[in-house]
Amino acid sequence: MTRVLVRRPSPALAEGELTHFERVPVDYDLALRQWQQYVAALDAAGFAPIELAPADDQPDGVFVEDTVVLLGSVAVLTNPGADSRKGEIDSMANALSDLGFEIHRISAPGTLEGGDVLKIGKTIYVGRSSRTNDEGIRQLAAIGSANGYETITVPVTKTLHLKSQVTALPDGTVIGHPDIVDAPESFATYLDVPEIEGIAVVVVGDDAVLISASAPRTAELLRSRGLNVVETPITEFEKMEGCVTCLSVRARVLD
């Protein structure tokens, strides 16, 4: 069984960090309902949810992906580039320690956020962004190399994180939207999708993905490629530069 780590949104969600988006009103009650639907969709796909301790004083705490990078049995706790997010790390550390992961940490002056990390097989693509710096990438690459991973750095200037512009399908094909991808040539196999909201997918099976309900044309494109596509609404999180990947961390149960 694979666990999925999640955290319910803070009532202060609308006060979270924004880098590329203009601030607009966020409906917290709707955000909470959408988060519950998202968790239910993962549960239905066979993932066992583990809810991290609430962090009502952390507006961005719902975006748990940014706090850790999992490399097999190794958990690399990040050092977020946004100071306001550093208080999110300890609760993730406690949960992963309880699950038996070997814990490593990115230390200052290195910064790293999990949204900048895209793993495909034994390759780690890391976005050099406003939140992840060269020293953070160096530290992650060293840990990755010790565990059999190769690291490739990708420039990120058009979005908050690397996974705000590309993610990968179950077969390793990287998808993105031409308006926001900095370096599509970085990836061995790349496919444009028709909607910006459609670039983010969570792989939930060998032929199944979870995607935002804001991208119906992308969902149809992926279905035409033989994928089972589960759509879930996340509009309130998209307003805060979030997507389906950053709302959870999938963690395989260790023997």
The model's pLDDT over 1-36, given as tens digits with 9 standing for 90+, comes to 689 999 999 999 999 999 999 999 999 999 999 999
What is the pTM assigned to this prediction?
Answer: 0.96
Share of the chain above pLDDT 70, in %: 98
Sheet holding 68-71, edge to edge: 68-71, 74-77, 102-105
In the chain, the amino acid numbered 77 is L
Sign for the pseudo-dihedral over CA of 128, 67, 41, 21: negative
Task: Assess contact for 79 and 108: CB atoms under 8 A.
Answer: yes
Distance CA 69, CA 218 (A): 27
Instruction: Indicate if 20 belongs to the active site.
Output: no
Distance CA 161, CA 163 (A): 5
Tokens at residue 20, please?
Answer: 């590329």
Q: Which of 20, 104, 161, 177 is catalytic?
A: 161
The number of folded domains in the chain is 1
Per-residue pLDDT at 138:
98
Distance CA 90, CA 124 (A): 24
Per-residue pLDDT at 255:
46
Structural domain of 198: 2-252
User: What DSSP string runs through 66-117?
Assistant: GGEEEETTEEEE-B-SSGGGGGGHHHHHHHHHHTTPEEEE--TT--B-GGGE
Per-residue pLDDT at 252:
75
Q: Which of 104, 177, 243, 246 is catalytic?
A: 246
Average pLDDT over residues 175-196: 97
pLDDT tops 60 at residue 254: no
Instruction: Indicate if 161 belongs to the active site.
Output: yes
Q: Which residues pair with 49 in a beta bridge?
A: 4
pLDDT tens string 34-49: 999 999 999 999 999 9
Q: Give the number of C-alpha atoms closer than 13 A to the C-alpha of residue 25, restricted to the C-beta side.
A: 3
Task: Assess contact for 59 and 11: CB atoms under 8 A.
Answer: no
Per-residue pLDDT at 75:
98
Average pLDDT over residues 58-72: 98
Average pLDDT over residues 102-118: 98
Per-residue pLDDT at 2:
87
Task: Assess contact for 155 and 127: CB atoms under 8 A.
Answer: yes
Read off the CATH number of the domain in which 126 is found: 3.75.10.10
Phi, psi at residue 142, to the nearest 5°?
-65, -45
pLDDT tops 80 at residue 236: yes
pLDDT tens string 122-155: 999 999 999 999 999 999 999 999 999 999 999 9
